[in-house]
Amino acid sequence: MSHTAPWTVATIRTALERRKVSARELADEFFAAIARRNPELNAYLALSPGLAYQQAGRVDAAVAKGEPLPALAGVPIAVKDVLSTTGIPTTCGSKILQNYVPPYNATAVERLEAAGAVILGKTNCDEFAMGSSNENSAYGPVHNPVALDRVPGGSSGGSAAAVAAGLAVAALGTDTGGSIRQPGACCGIPAVMPTYGRVSRYGLIAFASSLDRIGPFATNIADAAAVLGTIAGHDPLDSTSADIAVPSYAQEIDKDLAGLRIGVPEDYFGAGLDPEVRQHVEAGIALLEKLGCKRIPLKMPHTDYAIATYYIIATAEASSNLARYDGVRYGLRVSGATLMDMYRKTREQGFGAEVKRRIMLGTYALSAGYYDAYYLRAQKVRTLIFRDFADAFLKCDLIVTPTAPTPAFRLGEKTADPLQMYLADIYTVTGSLAGVPGISVPCGNTRGGLPVGLQIFGSHFGEGKMLQAAGQFEKAGGFAIGN
Amino acid sequence: MKITRDDVLRVAQLAHLELSEGEVELYRGQLDAILSYADKLNEIDVSGVEPMAQVLAGATGSGASGGASASIGANGDAEERHNSALREDVERPMHTAEAVLKIAPDPVPPYFRVPKVIER
């Protein structure tokens, strides 16, 4: 079947029900597109045609029998390579897990499959999700499909690039400090970080456990909402997943925005914000006002401390989580004369530069004599950043900011200076520390044709209202504002 | 200079990393720059502020992690939600040992074999 508009969850469903296309033909179409485009993008690390065609066959059989189709029947989806997938290699973008094939599925993956989704393969990412450009992958960087000499953002750069290039209808990413939202902004597609606890982390290979979240990329808000609705909800296998009912996000999107209060914190519009990004985000806020929202000026005074707080807490948790890679039970083993020798050689050869840097930073911040000065102090400042959000949500329903200070930068531009790279996360880490949900939506392109992202934060478990604003923004043409 | 060569070697040893000579000097400079930047946290008075180990401990039942926790409701109220993460203590067979040993670097079922542990 030929078509011009990109496939969506809704058009796939209609086409399947009317027998205009089969799930197998859809899979064919996407694998063909991947074969054409992936060599220049490097978005996929592994493809899983065997499992994908099995699943497509099940969907086609259900169609043939006239059975009711589940929510994501036949929808081709990509999964970031930090999420465990039974029988499909899961490397985390690291050499230390080069040959690792998990014996179980992450809960989010399990739920996608139960909803009929067809998993095409695993997407490239910064090693162990540590990075803002995808240049820290042991398997080479991803190129931004909008401009091949630019980064796709990170760490979920492969997922963002795959969806933006039409190599998947939707994708799962993970976000610890901005790793879903920032690549969404760089590649010009909607990207959702749900509330901490909204989506089970079971089977997500841990980076920083108090911050890690799983969420979707899609080309439109309805699809993002459909994927989020599928993967959200309590899971007994993750004791930090919340036992709170999942609303129908699809219904929320259709509500109009009259009277909604949007907070705009001045702290997100200071030095370092690219003037063109500012201009587009201001135009986006004006559009939301035109749609009936009331603009509330805000001050969130601890914003400037978020990067330092985040990089202490996240690296401390990472140093602990990554202690498990020692060559004993799975992944790479480099032999050594003694057990200690084996540990050290395995980790030295298995980990890349950024991962080692963060392990050392975190180990330092947790070590005797420095714990109080760094880790404990950062945890206290986290409380203050959390309170900034609690205070803000007394005055408004949503908070609107830029997603990233600049559009996608050039490959190689920031690799020599880790601190400069960390500052790419300046507007996203705040929401990560506070546990609130955030979405990045496209907000037009710069004169040079690079996408700008507008970020909307909701209150805890307030994904519905957040998606409502994003959906109405999309409907009003916000994605192409100022172009 | 905040971070010395000895600091890097001490941390690398704690973290079981074996660094090359070039890495030692590279990381010394980079950790020094990052930790100097982190010093801005000293500008804030945090006396009387509870450390936060985990957000939403009330909502997610992980209250045992300690520290401050609350969730921000739709009306901005910080509310405590109670939902114990404790479950019934019943056996649940996993049947994963065989699959796990199959992907191990040097399995001797039912064990993982490692080099001899020698006292230093």
From chain A, pick out residues whose CB is under 8 angstroms from the CB of B50: 380, 383
Name the β-bridge partners of A123. A44, A80
Q: Give pLDDT, residue B80.
A: 46
Q: Give pLDDT, residue B65.
A: 37
Convert the pLDDT of each residue in B57-91 to its tens digit.
544 434 333 334 467 765 544 444 444 567 788 88
Q: Tell me which residue in B16, B30, B43 faces A343 most closely, judged by beta carbons.
A: B16
CA atoms B4, B10, B14, B15: torsion sign: positive
Q: Give pLDDT, residue B66.
A: 36
CA atoms A105, A111, A113, A119: torsion sign: negative
Q: Give pLDDT, residue B63.
A: 36
Name the β-bridge partners of A121. A47, A78
At A58, phi and psi to the nearest 5? Answer: -65, -40
Instruction: State whether residue A171 is helix, strand or coil.
Output: strand
Question: Minimal Cα distance from B96: which residue of A?
Answer: A103
Distances from the Cα of A287 to the Cα of A17, A138, A225, angstroms? 37, 42, 22
User: Where does residue A65 rank: exposed (0-12), middle (13-18), buried (19+ CB within 10 A)?
Assistant: exposed
From chain A, pick out residues whose CB is under 8 angstroms from the CB of B36: none
Q: Which of B56, B69, B87, B113 is the best mutation test for A, with the most CBs of A within 10 A? A: B56
User: Is A396 in contact with A296 (CB distance < 8 Å)?
Assistant: yes
Q: Do B105 and A305 touch (CB under 8 A)?
A: no
Q: Is some CB atom of chain B closer than 8 A to the CB atom of A251? A: no
Q: Give pLDDT, residue A327.
A: 97
From chain A, pick out residues whose CB is under 8 angstroms from the CB of B100: 103, 329-330
Angle at alpha carbon of residue A112, lines to A109 and A116, rounded to 5°: 140
Contacting residues for B37 by C-beta, under 8 A, at least 6 apart = A307, A308, A419
Q: A314: part of which helix (H) or strand (E)?
A: helix A306-321
Instruction: Note the helical H segments in A332-477.
Output: 339-350, 353-366, 377-395, 418-422, 429-434, 463-475
In whole angstroms, give the CA distance from residue A217 to residue A227: 9
Q: Is some CB atom of chain B closer than 8 A to the CB atom of A272? A: no
Q: Is the ipTM of this complex over 0.85?
A: yes
CA atoms A26, A54, A41, A134: torsion sign: positive
Residue A196 per-residue DSSP state:
T
From chain A, pick out residues whose CB is under 8 angstroms from the CB of B37: 307-308, 419
Round the average pLDDT of chain B to a whole number and report it: 81
Instruction: Note the helical H segments in A65-204.
Output: 107-114, 157-164, 181-187
Q: Would you place residue B2 in the very low, low, confident or very high pLDDT band (cuts 50, 70, 90)?
A: confident
The pair of structure tokens assigned to A373 is: 């000065």
The question of whether A380 is a catalytic residue gets the answer: no
The question of whether A84 is a catalytic residue gets the answer: no
Does residue B110 have a cis bond before it (omega within 30 degrees)? Answer: yes
Shortest distance between the Cα of A177 and any Cα of chain B, in A, equals 14
Count each helix (H run) and each strand (E run) in chain B, helices first: 4, 4
In whole angstroms, give the CA distance from residue B59 to residue B80: 7
Q: Is some CB atom of chain B closer than 8 A to the CB atom of A269? A: no
Distances from the Cα of A249 to the Cα of A277, A372, A469, angstroms? 29, 42, 12
Q: A369: part of which helix (H) or strand (E)?
A: none
Q: Give pLDDT, residue A26.
A: 98
Shortest distance between the Cα of B54 and any Cα of chain A, in A, equals 5
Q: Give pLDDT, residue B68.
A: 43
Orientation angle between helical segments A23-41 and A49-64, nearest 10 degrees: 150
Residue/partner pairs of A10-18 with CB below 8 Å, 24 or more apart? A10/A222, A10/A223, A12/A73, A12/A74, A12/A75, A12/A169, A13/A69, A13/A73, A13/A74, A16/A59, A16/A63, A16/A69, A16/A73, A16/A74, A17/A63, A17/A69
Q: Do A356 and B35 touch (CB under 8 A)?
A: no
Q: Which residues of B60-83 are buried (b: 16+ CB within 10 A; e: fewer)?
A: bbbbeeebbbbbbbeebebeebeb
Residue-wise DSSP of A407-445 = SPPBTTSSTT-HHHHHGGGTTTHHHHHHT--EEEEEEEE
State the 10-residue block means of pLDDT for chain A, 483 residues long: 76 98 98 98 98 98 97 98 97 97 97 98 98 98 98 98 98 98 98 98 98 98 98 94 94 94 97 96 98 98 97 98 97 95 96 97 96 96 97 98 98 93 95 98 98 98 98 98 88
From chain B, pick out residues whose CB is under 8 angstroms from the CB of A381: 41, 44, 46, 49
Q: Do B16 and A323 touch (CB under 8 A)?
A: yes
Identity at B113, one-letter amino acid code: R
Angle at alpha carbon of residue A328, lines to A322 and A329, rounded to 5°: 85
In whole angstroms, give the CA distance from residue A305 to residue A470: 28
Q: Which of A22, A80, A122, A414 is catalytic?
A: A80
| Reduced DSSP (H G I as helix, E B as strand, rest coil) percent helix, strand, coil of chain B, to 5 | 40, 10, 55
User: Is A405 in contact with A427 (CB distance < 8 Å)?
Assistant: yes
CA atoms A324, A326, A330, A332: torsion sign: positive
Q: Give pLDDT, residue A428.
A: 98
User: Where does residue A95 rank: exposed (0-12), middle (13-18), buried (19+ CB within 10 A)?
Assistant: middle
pTM for the whole thing? 0.95
Identity at B114, one-letter amino acid code: V
Q: Give pLDDT, residue A408.
A: 98
Q: Would you place residue B1 in the very low, low, confident or very high pLDDT band (cuts 50, 70, 90)?
A: confident
Name the β-bridge partners of A80. A123
User: Is A34 in contact with A147 (CB distance < 8 Å)?
Assistant: no
Q: Give pLDDT, residue A5.
A: 73
Q: Do A240 and B54 touch (CB under 8 A)?
A: yes
The pair of structure tokens assigned to A299 is: 């001050």
